[in-house]
Structure 1
Amino acid sequence: MTLPRSDTGTYADDDVVVVGMAVEAPGGVSTVDQFWEVLHAERETIGRFPRDRGWRLDRLASLGRTEGWRTVSDAGGFLDEAAAFDPRFFGITPREAIAMDPQQRVGLRVAWRALENSGIDPESIDGDEMGCFMGAMITEYGPSMSTVNEHNGYQLSGSSLSAVAGRISHVLGSLGPCLTVDTGCAASLTAVHLAANSIRLGECDWAVAGGVTVMGSEMMFVEFAKNNALSVDGHCRSYTASASGTVWSEGAGVVVLERASRARLAGHRIHGCIRGSATNHNGSGAALAVPRGESQVRLIDRTLRVAGVRAEQVSLIEGHGTGTQVGDPIELNALARTYGAAASAAGTRVDVGSCKSNFGHTQAAAGVLGLIKVLACADRGELVPTLHADDPTDEIDWDRSGLRLVEKVRPWPAEGGVRHGAVSAFGIGGSNAHLVVAVDEKEYARA
């Protein structure tokens, strides 16, 4: 189904728009402006492993000496305030807060800030049917629930993935649909997709949506050391020939969504419009965790049909770009067959990038951080570079692909007053998500 809209690009009353957003990311980033400053300054925020989490760092350092295991670099992206939380501010007892997965704490905090960013008082929501859709993954926080300890009684709700979204709705007093989504690293973009559809279907008038990852253990580094998919040098080299694997990171992002008519009535600033989104699965044929180009092509085509947007209108793609030698070329070839082919036919190129080169792979939060990056670029009319892009992969023919990596800060021109961007996210369970967003200069004036 193609959604109705104005040919001028101005958002129709029933279009779903973004009216607020908030982030936390490695490098002390706690605002969208700080997020943008890292991107614009071409900074990388990867640091050493935290020394205050009780992780077996000696074991990690020794893995590479065992046959069949990759060396684990002392590198990742970590939130400065992952452990910081004021439970009484949110009406939570300190004993319960200790048992809460930090993903619940950070997700709640970032959702609160996103509401404030939109001009909505979080304390005014009690009894409202706001939707809440959050992406999250298991990260092994705290002791086993089968062990008798001082945290029993709070551990079930504290460690449940359902409570990542449930905690937000509970604290705010929201009565609308509430879902935690686990589609692996596609989780937050899937959550935004579900939230937008819920609004269109009338299940709720508005929603918060996004995702969060805080690593409660070193499990992801151990698992990917065995899979030989960790970066050997501690840098996430998205789409490059020297890419050797990904760098795991933490992060959180939340957007506030509502219909354009509601936003205008309330006087909310509209950051952009969710033109369309879609999800699918890779199916069988390869290993579960291996992406499939054909599925990505189908997903992009479906998203464009739903969005009512032509491929050549999209001028920026925030890709998944994990820096792996298998996944990145598959993704680039799918982008070349869709957006790249349309751009070549029109005599142009479509720009591709990934903020994982700045912040590392924030896992369940990756998709929504990509969306916030695209909105921030459109707001400022500038493209920001993908780091390490002086060494593009030779797995595609860049000259004929219709794609190009963004290698430096440069203007992002609007076509007919509108900038269209796309965001991709793929999960280890085979789930894929894609979204097309539009930012109309007539609808958005920076405050």
Structure 2
Amino acid sequence: MTAVAPIGEAAALADDPIVVVGMSVEAPGGIDTPAAYWSALTEGRDLIGPFPRDRGWDVDELLGLSARHGWGQVADAGGFLDKATEFDPLFFGISPREAVAMDPQQRVMLRTAWRAVENAGINPRSLAGQEVGVYVGGSAMEYGPRAAEVNEYSGYRAAGSALGAMAGRISHCMQLTGPCMTVDTACASSLTALDLAVKALRDDDAQLALVGGVCVMGSPAAFYEFSKNNALAAGGQCRPYSSEADGTLWGEGAGLIVLERRSRALAADRRIYGEILATGVNHNGGGAGIALPSAAAQQRLIERVVQRAGIAPEHVDLIEGHGTGTAVGDPLELEALSGVYGAARRNAPAAVGSVKSNLGHAQAASGMLGLIKVLLCGLHGQIAPTRHAQQPSDSVDWTDVGLRLPAAVEDWPDRDGVRHAAVSSFGIAGTNAHAIIAMPTETSDNNA
């Protein structure tokens, strides 16, 4: 393993793109490697399971919410991490008592970051003192007792429950001195973190950037909220862009990628998974309720990111959409995607899908899980299927939108040695995020 390559004075910032050199993932179904994740995606595996019975949740009350007037049905289902309660604190220099007081999102993100750095061929301990940035998308998930009471974890709760510590734990443990922040734009968080990290690398504020997203539900609050809004999938499946979609289904997960400039990656002989051509973030800007998406705002953002990427929209063959499986969100998102990408591909529709069909809506981590899916598709030269794609939504005319839902694994031919893809996310507070990725075939290595 090698340390970070030194900054090269000759590297021209404008002509030295940001590339992905490492990745790691944790997903439901016991998945904790990119290879296992890819297998689950290509097999179209259902990673949804029953509510965990070891978190102190009142599952009987949850399943009985529909008996209350105006509340929707809650299925005994979600995409839950198998190893959310597992952690080796001493490995990371943390005492066992402090570890219990830590939000499990901090623990999961810490070990995911460690694995991603190793995946990049770097010894994490070799980064001590270096200007490495950490950008994590995450939201508060109500873990543990209230801080305003006396209990055995008093004194550890300030850092243990802090959003900033999701990123701060990584920088502290690895002794990194670059920018460090946790970003919360709800379900757009991890792609917003990506946008900030790319800007930091372009401004030369960091040599290397660790960018991720995490969601581990410390409480079932999201199920209560969406039951009251009648927006949960009563059938216990998230069906993005499907005529059978009946609401979203919450999930968990974590993903992290390692970014640096291409010149440094090549100098260190690192594997390059892909290049971040362009990113962008905007807001709906008012109008309908804050939780409602805006097709017009999403389309404006996508157009801007395509322009920044410097490619024709018809060159984007794969779109990893947000795809919540809701009657409002999916049609609006498809309208925006069709308005940019589909408009140029009426005769050769672009593939659109969402990993939420496998593992549910992992909230702040969803964009990063989708991005890693895209990188793996590029790595293997295949497009992974979206579950429940056999019956596409009847809210759009699929013969005219320039989009399609892949229901089985497909070969993905390159265009002059490059494959292009896009990833979208939008959050419940009105934030939209979008990214365009290029994956050169000569950098492919099927041993992720």
CA distance in 2, matches of 1:393, 1:71: 22
Instruction: Give the structure 2 partner of residue 109 of structure 1.
Output: 111
Q: 1:61: Cα distance to partner?
A: 1.3
Q: Does 379-388 or 133-142 show the bigger shift? A: 379-388
Conserved 8 A contact 1:383-1:410:
yes
Structure 1 position 16 matched with structure 2 position 27: no
Listed as ranges, the matches of 1:296-315 within 5 Å are: 296-315=298-317
- Give the 4+ runs in structure 1 shifted more than 4 A: none
1:288 paired residue among 280, 287, 290: 290
Residue by residue over 1:382-432, the C-alpha shift from the partner in whole angstroms, topping out at 9 and shown as x without a partner, is 111111111111111100111101111111111111100000011111001
Instruction: Give the structure 2 partner of residue 408 of structure 1.
Output: 408
Instruction: Give the structure 2 partner of residue 361 of structure 1.
Output: 361
Instruction: Give the structure 1 partner of residue 7 of structure 2.
Output: none
Residue by residue over 1:62-121, the C-alpha shift from the partner in whole angstroms, topping out at 9 and shown as x without a partner, is 100111100110000111110100000000011111110000000000000000000010
Letter in 2 for 1:30: D
CA distance in 1, matches of 2:108, 2:132: 19
CA distance in 2, matches of 1:384, 1:127: 40
Letter in 2 for 1:49: F
| Secondary structure at 2:400 match in 1 | helix
Letter in 2 for 1:291: P
Residue by residue over 1:350-405, the C-alpha shift from the partner in whole angstroms, topping out at 9 and shown as x without a partner, is 11010100011111110011111011011111111111111111111100111101
Q: 1:446: Cα distance to partner?
A: 4.0
Q: 1:445: Cα distance to partner?
A: 4.2
Instruction: Give the structure 2 partner of residue 28 of structure 1.
Output: 30
User: RMSD of aligned C-alpha atoms?
Assistant: 1.1
| Secondary structure at 2:64 match in 1 | helix
| Secondary structure at 1:399 match in 2 | coil
Conserved 8 A contact 1:236-1:245:
yes
CA distance in 2, matches of 1:122, 1:356: 31
Q: How many residues align?
A: 435
| Secondary structure at 1:400 match in 2 | coil
Instruction: Give the structure 1 partner of residue 380 of structure 2.
Output: 380
Conserved 8 A contact 1:352-1:406:
yes
CA distance in 1, matches of 2:351, 2:140: 33
Q: Which runs of 5+ in 1 are unaligned?
A: 1-10
Structure 1 position 186 matched with structure 2 position 188: yes
Q: 1:443: Cα distance to partner?
A: 3.5
| Secondary structure at 1:148 match in 2 | coil
Conserved 8 A contact 2:380-2:444:
no
Instruction: Give the structure 2 partner of residue 394 of structure 1.
Output: 394
TM-score by length of 2: 0.96
Instruction: Give the structure 2 partner of residue 350 of structure 1.
Output: 350
CA distance in 1, matches of 2:40, 2:360: 13
Structure 1 position 428 matched with structure 2 position 428: yes
CA distance in 1, matches of 2:430, 2:403: 25
| Secondary structure at 2:317 match in 1 | strand
Q: Which runs of 5+ in 2 are unaligned?
A: 1-12
| Secondary structure at 2:297 match in 1 | helix
Instruction: Give the structure 2 partner of residue 252 of structure 1.
Output: 254
Letter in 2 for 1:358: N
Structure 1 position 200 matched with structure 2 position 202: yes
CA distance in 2, matches of 1:120, 1:223: 42
Letter in 2 for 1:390: Q
TM-score by length of 1: 0.96
Instruction: Give the structure 2 partner of residue 128 of structure 1.
Output: 130
CA distance in 2, matches of 1:275, 1:443: 16
| Secondary structure at 1:442 match in 2 | helix
Q: 1:442: Cα distance to partner?
A: 2.6
Structure 1 position 83 matched with structure 2 position 85: yes
Letter in 2 for 1:187: S
CA distance in 2, matches of 1:446, 1:248: 31
Instruction: Give the structure 2 partner of residue 4 of structure 1.
Output: none
Conserved 8 A contact 1:13-1:261:
no
Letter in 2 for 1:278: G
CA distance in 1, matches of 2:270, 2:381: 21
CA distance in 1, matches of 2:321, 2:208: 27
Instruction: Give the structure 2 partner of residue 440 of structure 1.
Output: 440
CA distance in 2, matches of 1:171, 1:263: 24
Structure 1 position 168 matched with structure 2 position 164: no
